[in-house]
Amino acid sequence: LHGRTETIRSCSRQAASFVRAMAAKQGSAEERKQLLIRAVASHQMQARYCSQGQGVDRHLVGLKMSLAPSDPAPALFTDPAFTESKTWR
């Protein structure tokens, strides 16, 4: 893993659930606390995977870079969700 970097995706289902509950002021304080705990645990697991070389972002970058200029891009690389996931706002 010398020199390899990885992206930790902070937007998980667990994080989204927590944010939605907080924004809508849904549930009790204890329920929202549990959603936060789940979101943090999910983020920590993702960070652990990335530190162990188990992330997916750099793998996908490598696959895309391995295409010859004349090769058609696989459907994954033209999927709107994939394209959106690479955009920072």
Helix H segments across the chain?
A: 13-24, 29-51, 57-65, 75-78, 80-85
**What pLDDT score does 8 carry?**
80
pLDDT of residue 30: 96
Return per-residue pLDDT of the chain as tens, 89 residues: 566 677 787 789 999 999 999 999 889 999 999 999 999 999 999 888 888 878 888 888 888 899 999 999 899 888 888 888 777 66
pLDDT of the residue at 4:
64
> In the prediction, which pLDDT does 54 show?
82
Tally of residues, the chain: 89
Which tokens in the block code for residue 67?
């295409």
Tell me what pLDDT residue 89 has: 61
Which pLDDT belongs to residue 9?
A: 76
CA angle (38 as vertex; 32, 43 as ends), nearest 5: 125
